[in-house]
Structure 1
């Protein structure tokens, strides 16, 4: 049995196309998309359509599907909140009435091997799709994030791939297709095989693609102008394979809300670090 799990595409059509071709050549029995197809780069709708067009691909909801779908229920927001979240608003408009399909996605799926052992897939942890697991997360914390015990627990969300073992469980973060966060610009996904002799085996695969072409779409589509300052952080994440938005949130988000620094200046400060 062969299972491919990809995640965190974030509207990067160039990367998704490369990974789709790579997976097709491997010919897995099952393909699972572990959330965050949309939101980040200019081509969220095209990525959603490409995933939906794949025969029998399973899709799990990520936090960015929720960020986009939440615009369905939001009343008027203040101008600053709108500007900070303008990427998801842009994606919401781009999705053109397909937002209900994002809400309909399951939070978890699982694959059972012939011996009854299970590979469990969810975007972050059993506690929620924004509760990330890292390579350095303490064992006792991970135990709570993956309970009940399963043969393989497949996560994503942090954009940082790893494989670790906790008691009887392989815990695997498959990384990100569209916005890797570990300093390696190559797209990342996970391959899982089950055999009667070896049980479940996990491998992280890196796929080179033309990231410069993906970066160019920020300019050719007008995305930078349409989305505003936060789009510059997405572009930097693509170029450097690092999480600039989390750094902005930790250092400047409250200061921006308090009026101590402008959104534009805070974004520039992060980029200058």
Structure 2
């Protein structure tokens, strides 16, 4: 069975569509999303609707949480402005969808015990977990019963870390990569071979940048080209 894994879309519908086209070739049984559907870019309603269309199993990210509550004080000026704009341009139906997202999910997929959070198991909304943070101690501290697969987001940087019999992964960011590669990032899990592949796909950054500059800070558009 093939499983698609996405995260940190951040209202970038163009990048999301490019990723979904790539995933169509894999014919995944499920798509899992580690949060942050909204924020930064100017297509919040289209993005949430599309995620719902493909019936992705999502968790709540920190930007999603900020949109349905109050924009966090610790957000920088650009992030605050974008999130406030996203809130004003999201339908009531999609707002309710975000409000109902769980902070974590734990489910069995093709006999694999799978855990999903945006941040970390203990602080699912906003803790950054980097590849070097993941070791046996991290797993023992985070879980009473250690899953087969741990999926996290938030860092916007993809990785796969194998600890014993547990595969830990971050699919990177669909909508705003920060690892120096401007292409949208996602992952594919093969549940039979127990392998994970990080994938990248190009999309029309120019179009997203133009739309972003019309409504939101220019710096948000510029960083798409730099993958940072």
Report the TM-score when normalising by structure 2.
0.88
Report the alpha carbon displacement of residue 100 of structure 1 after superposing the two structures with TM: 2.8
* Higher fraction of helix: 1
1:223 aligns with 2:219: no
Report the alpha carbon displacement of residue 131 of structure 1 after superposing the two structures with TM: 1.0
Name the CA distance, whole Å, in 2 between partners of 1:141 and 1:99: 38
SS in 1 for 2:191: strand
- Superposed CA deviations along residues 148-195 of structure 1, whole A, max 9, x for unmatched, are 411111111100001111233111010000000100011111101112
Name the residue aligned to 2:114. 119
Which of 214, 223, 228 is residue 237 of structure 1 equivalent to?
Answer: 223
Between 144-153 and 36-45, the greater mean CA deviation after superposition: 144-153
Name the residue aligned to 2:66. 67
- The 8 Å contact of residues 146 and 153 in structure 1, kept in 2 or not, is answered as no
Name the CA distance, whole Å, in 2 between partners of 1:112 and 1:211: 36
CA RMSD of aligned residues (A): 2.4
- The 8 Å contact of residues 125 and 145 in structure 1, kept in 2 or not, is answered as no
Which of 163, 184, 187 is residue 190 of structure 1 equivalent to?
Answer: 187
Greater RCO (CA < 8 Å, at least 6 residues apart): 2
Name the residue aligned to 2:85. 90
1:44 aligns with 2:44: yes
Counting only pairs closer than 5 Å after superposition, residues 1-273 of structure 1 correspond to structure 2 as: 1-54=1-54, 56-71=55-70, 85-97=80-92, 98-114=94-110, 116-128=111-123, 129-137=125-133, 139=135, 142-143=138-139, 146-147=142-143, 148-195=145-192, 198=193, 200-219=194-213, 222-224=214-216, 231-242=217-228
Name the CA distance, whole Å, in 2 between partners of 1:170 and 1:139: 11
Report the alpha carbon displacement of residue 82 of structure 1 after superposing the two structures with TM: 8.2
Q: Which has the larger radius of gyration?
A: 1
Name the CA distance, whole Å, in 2 between partners of 1:159 and 1:82: 19
- Superposed CA deviations along residues 19-51 of structure 1, whole A, max 9, x for unmatched, are 111111210111112211111111111111111
Name the CA distance, whole Å, in 2 between partners of 1:63 and 1:215: 23
Summarize the Cα distance change of 1:141–1:212 in structure 2 as closer, same or farther, 3 Å threshold. Answer: farther
Report the alpha carbon displacement of residue 217 of structure 1 after superposing the two structures with TM: 1.3
> Which residues of structure 2 form unaligned runs of 5+?
none
SS in 1 for 2:176: coil
- The 8 Å contact of residues 140 and 146 in structure 2, kept in 1 or not, is answered as no
Between 19-28 and 177-186, the greater mean CA deviation after superposition: 19-28
Report the alpha carbon displacement of residue 86 of structure 1 after superposing the two structures with TM: 2.0
> Which residues of structure 1 form unaligned runs of 5+?
225-230, 243-273
Summarize the Cα distance change of 1:184–1:117 in structure 2 as closer, same or farther, 3 Å threshold. Answer: same
